[in-house]
Structure 1
């Protein structure tokens, strides 16, 4: 009788444990602040970064929903006086194999030395197995041959070749940000010229009124924005999800689609969505969602997106932007279906191994 009771107790505890695990939840946002969030899931670990402005901070956790309590470390602070010493924006950590097949870590970050006019993208490298350890060294500026203004670079190994996409200016002055793509010789060198594949030319991308503080002599200048491009491969197709409008307005996500057959460097091989594919949801308390990124759950079965958003319509472009995550699905035609920003209610965490 005692044995039966003990067995029943053990079975009950096991069942309760599995139930609690299955029901483990989180509520957005996953951290109080975190503009321009980025997540890489590798070998069961999630590596997370966001804009801090002054340094590169890396978070490491077994589940990105636990980010608020995750281990974090300042892994790089730029020396003063360098052309990459100020305004560090939108850092991304990636892992690519070297010529010997050994994985190396790379971080791509936008930075300047004086003001926004000098923003360029810079690359750091770390050969350590764990990016929280070892030394991060500056490899240099990753720019096109004409040294154009650029921010928000992301990189992908697509069919055995490296490509970079970023937001840049066509000329030397601001006013319109376009999306460019280029081949890479290696993780820190562009191979050939950049190619423009998108500019804010649709009505839904051109809500460009600037804040009143920027206006001069009663004039209301326009700033049209395509930025924050992120690669999203699926089956035989490649997508680029980018942010449109501006972070102080109704920021939203647009979609560029490549059918996987033509040259990625041919602008004609990319098709733009007819409207935003992810927009703010005031009814759910989510405004100006942007800078979307994508990752798989640790068990490799779930597709998730990460983005920053504001908790009110007037929060603007500062540190009130916080990181949100939510799962997404795929439409019958193979394109991503992001739905809309989820309400701030408990949802299951990304599946674990």
Structure 2
């Protein structure tokens, strides 16, 4: 039984009907925003000089899916990054998951990862190149992010593991270009706790924040309804990040539905910073109701929210409730 809502939320969405939100603050001072659109048919960028300004910023479609082919359906969870690998030109990259058209695969959920890349300075006016990002495992995959640490670049993503029950686990690998990895993928976590296996066995949507001598990975678990929630992994900043033993995992979710104030299924997070750089910001999507008609996949009302992260005395993030400002 779903508990009744008893009070109005203290926050409102930053952007309505945008799921899987990603906000990146670039060195040019602008915030760049990309997310899944309800039609799952295109990649759309926004840019503003404040986080709040993203809500009214112009929407620029930089790519639209073709009608048929291997990347022509269910365009999911894009992220925009500026990747600067030593010896290679700085590159804008939009990573996203796409499925083949249904005449090719009758099962909808056959996603693979792709990237749009450009070396142009302005991603809103760029000429983009499309390529597949091959993880080395030919199974359903999605939700890639990238990050740099101590001069190395890492690719971090969700994928259905061979021989592992469930829908997706989290993997990491080192990158040798903005669209390719080296070495074997390393399994970091699979769904194991009761809050990670409700409806579906899912670990997905990883996002990285570095703080207080640690690397933190926020990720999402369970089905995409009101049971969706966030988990947390962390490693010491001096550890070998490709060694699974370097990582610890919270046995409890760190952000989950607030039934009292009606913010449900918070997850698929990203991280950014405030305009003056003094505060870390959590970006996530959530719904404001639980009664979903039909498949939650096609419900358009996962909205983008933002909230400030607090850090405790031990140096760990405290996310609080999704309904809090």
The two structures share one fold, judged by TM-score above 0.5: yes
Alignment of 1:184-223 (within 5 A): 184-208=175-199, 223=200
Q: Secondary structure at the match of 1:319?
A: coil
CA deviation map 1:97-122 (0-9, x unaligned): 25567532101000011343420110
- Please say if 1:47 is aligned against 2:28: no
- Please say if 1:34 is aligned against 2:18: yes
Residue of structure 2 in register with 1:122 after alignment = 114
Change (3 A) 1:96 1:168: same
- Please say if 1:90 is aligned against 2:82: no
In 2, Cα distance between equivalents of 1:27 and 1:61: 21
Residue of structure 2 in register with 1:331 after alignment = 312
In 2, Cα distance between equivalents of 1:98 and 1:290: 30
Alignment of 1:1-353 (within 5 A): 27-42=11-26, 43-52=28-37, 53-97=40-84, 99=86, 102-114=89-101, 115-138=107-130, 140-171=131-162, 175-208=166-199, 223-315=200-292, 316-317=296-297, 318-343=299-324
Quick check: 2:225–2:264 contact (8 Å CA) kept in 1? Answer: no
Which of the two has greater helix per residue? 1
Quick check: 2:46–2:59 contact (8 Å CA) kept in 1? Answer: yes
In 1, Cα distance between equivalents of 2:71 and 2:12: 33
TM-score by length of 1: 0.81
In 2, Cα distance between equivalents of 1:85 and 1:172: 28
Structure exhibiting the larger radius of gyration computed from Cα positions: 1
Q: Quote how far apart the aligned CAs of 1:206 are.
A: 2.1
In 1, Cα distance between equivalents of 2:194 and 2:133: 32
Quick check: 1:45–1:298 contact (8 Å CA) kept in 2? Answer: no
In 2, Cα distance between equivalents of 1:205 and 1:149: 18
TM-score by length of 2: 0.88
In 2, Cα distance between equivalents of 1:174 and 1:89: 23
Q: Secondary structure at the match of 1:121?
A: strand
In 2, Cα distance between equivalents of 1:335 and 1:289: 19
Quick check: 1:258–1:271 contact (8 Å CA) kept in 2? Answer: yes
Structure 1: 5+ residue runs without aligned partners? 1-25, 209-222, 348-353
In 2, Cα distance between equivalents of 1:104 and 1:151: 21
Quick check: 2:85–2:153 contact (8 Å CA) kept in 1? Answer: no
Q: Quote how far apart the aligned CAs of 1:172 are.
A: 7.9
Residue of structure 2 in register with 1:211 after alignment = none
